[in-house]
Amino acid sequence: MIKEADLAKEMKNGVPGGLYFFYGDEDYTKNRRAADMKRAAVGEDPSLAAFNCFEFVFGDGEFDAAAVEDALLAPPMMSPKKFISMTFSSVDSLKTRGKAGDGEDGEEDDSTEAAAPKKGGKTQNRLMEYLKSVGDPGEDTVMVVKAVGGGFDPGTAKAPSPFLRDADKIMTCVEFPYQSDNRLIHWMERHFADYGLTAAPEVYKWILNAAGKSMYRLSGELAKTAAYAAYRAEGDGSPRVVTLEDARLCVAANDEDDAFGLANCIMDGDLAGALNLLRIKMALREEPLLILGQISRAISDLYAAAAFSSDGRDASDYAAAMKMHSYRAGLFYRAVGKNPPSRYAEALNLCLEADRRLKSGLSGSSNSYAPIERLICSLTSLGNAAPGNVSSGNNYSGNAYSGRRGGR
């Protein structure tokens, strides 16, 4: 396992072929480094990238090994290397229990009961089993596997997770944690400098405290603040300095801007809160399919928590079965309260309908947020209404987001 700085040093003489695993909380630096590796491998010419670049995005519980295998078998065209990336919204959702090959194609049972480990069964991961079979892809292939922050539990430095231990044996594993405050402040200074602006140290600290450390979120808040401050300075002839008042007017406080917070707002019937969180994600240009996958996964986890609760089991049972940290499991347990599983089953069916509309083109474009806005309105109405009559035996697992594949 190495740090991002070590990878940057290795790339000074080009990017070596091989398998890479990117994990950690900071998706911004993760994606930026992957983009650097793509350019180093296939160059800047988009015509060459069209033949030599394969990028896949997989949602909760999804992995299309056949499509990835096709990309691996394709030889580089007019380039010494080809680039393959796989982004997973939840690596941990690919865990299987029992012997390898249980169920069709070795996939796990989607029912809630399948969350409980089978006695004597060994927990495996479909992705890891595939990567082991790939081995070294060769010097002509750069293959990057990215785990979205929040969708992978790496364990600790002293006790890494089984997946990370196995990955470290066959891949170059690179951690991307949140940046330190000092590094983020220097980064924010460069952002403001692009607008010809400066700011006092206390302004940067206030923005960090309000918006949090996510660089994707910060970039959106900085762009808003800089545009406003530049316009104000041009209008009144004042110095081009971002003031604390500018920041307070423009920066939205980080009110649990994550998939759990969004799903919780939805199921609580908080339409305004849910739409506000969606607007933040839209401003950060997050892909609609990825947002839908995050919502579906969070509601699926809430569904499982409700099922455990209705069976009289406690949060520790839920945490053990879901391989989830006890604190996070407690959040889900408290969120479901006394809600029956049928409420979340109905919500997952609505997620499936939104997924169908996005992929079928009924929304006009796969980049349209309209189906997600419609979904949020429908789900918040469900949250405000009495629990539905959908059977709690619904085995839908929340895999509403399909991997988008193809070369670019």
pLDDT attached to residue 220: 87
Q: Which of 38, 40, 32 is nearest to 54 (CA)?
A: 38
- The 3 state secondary structure assigned to 240-284 is CEECHHHHHHHCCCCCCCCHHHHHHHHHCCCHHHHHHHHHHHHHC
Residue 127 confidence (pLDDT) above 90: yes
Confidence of residue 38 (pLDDT cuts 50, 70, 90): very high
User: Which domains are delineated in the chain?
Assistant: 2-175 (3.40.50.300), 181-250 (1.10.8), 259-384 (1.20.272.10)
Measured in residues, the chain has a length of: 408
Cβ–Cβ under 8 Å, residues 348 and 300: yes
The token pair at 302 is: 């809430």
Looking at per-residue pLDDT, the higher value among 384 and 194 belongs to 194
* 143/392 Cα distance (integer angstroms): 41
Name every residue whose Cβ is closer than 8 Å to that of residue 59 and which is 6 or more positions away in sequence.
89, 90, 289, 290, 292, 293, 296, 297, 399, 400, 401, 402, 403
pLDDT attached to residue 132: 93
The token pair at 308 is: 């455990």
pLDDT tens digits along 288-298 = 888 888 888 88
Low-confidence winner among 137-146, 209-218, 234-243 (lowest mean pLDDT): 209-218
The token pair at 406 is: 């193809």
Cβ–Cβ under 8 Å, residues 172 and 201: no
Confidence of residue 246 (pLDDT cuts 50, 70, 90): very high
Residue 93 confidence (pLDDT) above 90: no
Residue 119 confidence (pLDDT) above 50: no
**Residue 397 vs residues 28, 77, 149, 291, 326: alpha-carbon distances, Å:** 29, 40, 21, 17, 22
For residues 2-13, give the mean pLDDT.
Answer: 86
pLDDT attached to residue 149: 83
Per the prediction, the chain carries an average pLDDT of: 80
pLDDT attached to residue 368: 77
Confidence of residue 377 (pLDDT cuts 50, 70, 90): confident
Positive or negative CA dihedral for 299, 301, 305, 306? positive
Confidence of residue 407 (pLDDT cuts 50, 70, 90): very low
* 228/233 Cα distance (integer angstroms): 9
pLDDT attached to residue 327: 62
Confidence of residue 384 (pLDDT cuts 50, 70, 90): low
Looking at per-residue pLDDT, the higher value among 284 and 230 belongs to 230
Looking at per-residue pLDDT, the higher value among 363 and 160 belongs to 160
